[in-house]
Structure 1
Amino acid sequence: MAESLRRLVDIGSFSILQEKLEKWSRDYRRNTSDENVATACEIVELNARVQGQLFKLLSLCASEGGLYGTGAAAIRSRLLPLLGHGFFASGLSSDASLSVIADAANRERELGDVRRSYEQSLDELEAELGKFKAENEDIRAELEDTKQELDRQSRASASEKMFSEAEIRDLKLKLSGSEADNDRLRARVRVLDDYERQVRHLREEVAILQGRPPSLYPPPPLLPPPPPPPASRPRTPTPKEAPISDGEIAESVSSHLAYHGRPGPLSPLSPHDPVQRSRQQTLVARFNDAFSVSRLEAMETLRRYYDDQVNNQKIVYAAVLEAFSAAKLAFRAFKSKVRSQLLISHMGPDTLEEAVQDYINCHTDMFDLHLMVQDAIRGLTRNYRLYLPPGIGYDVLTPFLREMCHLAWGMSALAHPVDAAVGYDGELFDEFRYRRSYDSEFSATLVSHHIWPALVQGTAVLVKGEACTRRGGYSSRSRSASRSASPARVNGAAGTARSSGAGRTPRAPSGGNKQQPSARADLGSTARTASTSLSHYID
């Protein structure tokens, strides 16, 4: 008895049992259910062994007598209530044990059924989830197809819109050109009517000087007066009359980069570029045509209001210079905007200047012609060396200024710009830049006034200009010899082209032998001028 008790104390079973309980308490939340059950069973087995040893000691003590010497009945009555209902060795009957086992089996069966139903419902949910995922993938694929179709339709609509806008711009440009041509033709018809009257008056004067009645010269049939322009028809502003905004330039640059790409193998800045050479030749030819046709039309227009040939020549020359100045300023601003837009999205082996010039070559019509004409008119108004009668403005030269501004813009848009050389009255005559006019003093070395500017490219002269040279400097305002004796100017009326013939007093052939040849020479010169102008308009 004493030896068994000492051995139980030496083993320290209760200390081991306490350590296992503390370890189970620490690891309870980290362990699984099976691990917790295994730990509990291990502790219960250890406790059962300790209780077995204690019951052996209790039996030995009861057999030896003492406090518990009352026997086994006293032990059962005092210790069995302390063991509790959870102890599996609690002295249950066989029937109670069987019922407990049956209940446990039923619970296991129910748990199995619940587990199977849960697994079945989980499989069904997984199947439904897979089906929903497949449907989601199909919907996503349809969305991608729809998005691609929408992008394709938006690109197609943008292209159609751009093409339609280009067609509208071309139609408006053609309409503007047609209206300008119509106005120019109306002006020519009016000038032709004036020439018809001049020819009739000249024939009458020639008949009087030759001593023949004017009735022998039947009057030519006069053209019907041109119909007045409709006042109620609104004029649609063309792209050249509407200001070009930065947004339009940005959109145009984007579309240019999208549809044109980078420049070709030959640089647009090269002087051997065939596009640049062809455009330069065309512009030079148009400049020569403007000297031979448009300049004469502008002179005839000015002669209706002020019959001073030198002053009118100065006005036409200044108008050409102002048109070039306005076009250069407008082109410089336009090129700066294009460069700033291309600087954002430019990339590739070509330089930025090549990309800018390539865009300008493809969009030579993006300019505000109306604004350039107004700038040129303001420049003419500020020139104090020019003169027009009160009430007459330089807007009478609007067709001529439109043509010159258009021409100057094209020359400024070249890779190597072409410019009009600026000349000053009283400067030394330069034979490399100018040719003398028919009424010049060919021995004079100073320029009296300029008639037409020279066309230069850098230091090279492409087209010579025309200047009038006089001895003794230049005069601020003078009249031509053939028009200095016009009586209509003396009376203060606004001189027209027909005043040179109708206002002259005819003289008989015997009125003076000294003055008759000069009068005939003046009439012959005027008749030649009128016939030349008439042949130009009739052609």
Structure 2
Amino acid sequence: MAENLRRLVSNESLRTLQEKLDSWLREYNTNSCDQNLNYCLELIEQVAKVQGQLFGILTTAAQEGGHNDGVETIKSRLLPWLEASFTAASMGKPVDSKVPSLQDTFDRERYKDSGPRDRDMQQLDSDLNSTRNQLNKVQDELKSLQAQEEARHKSSDRRSSDSRRSEARSSERRSEQRSSSKRSSDQRNSDAKSDYEKQIRNLKDEIAVLSAEKSTLQGRSSRSRSPSPDPCSRSHSRSRSRSRSGSPSAIMKIRTPSPNRSKLSSVARKAALLSRFSDAYSQARLDAQCLLRRCIDKAETVQRIIYIATVEAFHVAKMAFRHFKIRVRKSLTPSYVGSNDFENAVSDYIICHLDLYDAQSSVNDVIRAMNINPKISFPPEVDFCLLSDFIREICCIAFAMQALEPPLDIAFGADGEVFNDYKYRRSYDSDFTAPLVLYHVWPALMENDCVIMKGEAVTRRGAFISRSRSPSPIRCGLPRF
């Protein structure tokens, strides 16, 4: 402490402070505003430096006194000065040099009578009375609301009787709608059957490819003990070799999960994916609509294209996740022979290496599927590559959702189905009395049989009775790869 005090005494800051004040006083009237401000700030900085040294000496002196010595001095001298300084600084007033010490304040508090306590009790009593009055008012409002609810129930009973009469009048109309919905359901069943047959053929092809890979790997394992298969199979097509080149078998030396990703819980990953799916609906979908509206004037066609792109992206991403999981299981099998944690290891590896997903290959598959979809009718000069960014985002979201436990998926939706208020909300331009869905705008997100996020659909009355649609011959003539 003595050394700090000696440095402060030997410092000429205090001597030059008075000289600067005198010089500023002489030149104040001749200086500009900026010059006076600079003078003032220099003096403040110099005073702050001196004050910082004094506070350092104060701290050292207080530490030399131990735990108890000097406490009363700090309370009686330092704390009242700090309180007065902060109060004056916040109110824009100069610091009063006649501020009473904290010792005087303690003395006054010591000899105070029980007046503040009585005032506090009175304040509490008044608050209690006001709270009781508010409670009585709330109870009165509750009674009035109950009376209104009873009156509303009575009026709803009258309306229900009127609705029964109206239902009797509209029975013939409903029978016509049932017949039209039956015809549309038959058409949907035939379309779904053809789609399922195509999926079965694709799965059979994949099974054949995987069986060939298995036989090749078994032949190699008899000659070598290396557990890593060849990442690039020459017997595959170019698209499949491109998607399989990043398979986990090519990087089996790096099986240690990333610590940051492995710490993410399933709940956190699910919340992040739900947020991304909501952002895709609120922002990415609208951006894609703006791109399509430059070429297509009809809003219904634009919304149909985006919905079909979303559905196809989920389908392609689920297939890609299935193949990726098969490759991971094959690659990790030699390292976990006889282990009970094999499934956990596969799940952890997939979660930590979601970036190995070949999103561009899935985007190409989605665009090919959209080109041959008969429900999309549009000018031939429109290219679905405009939606590549949107499709890539949906594919990545869908692929990551398959790694959750349980996985998330979208609900099946078909034109002409009965509107389900549990899964969808009606679009703003819908007929809110129509029972059938004209077309879907956005799919509903499901977890098993529970709806996580509602979709959006357009409903109009009588749309499927007079509707006639012919698919585009240019797009329908393209083969599906």
TM-score tier, shorter chain, comes to 0.3 to 0.5
Bigger Rg, structure 1 or 2: 1
Give the TM-score normalised by the residue count of structure 2: 0.45
Larger RCO, structures 1/2 (Cα 8 Å, 6+ apart): 1
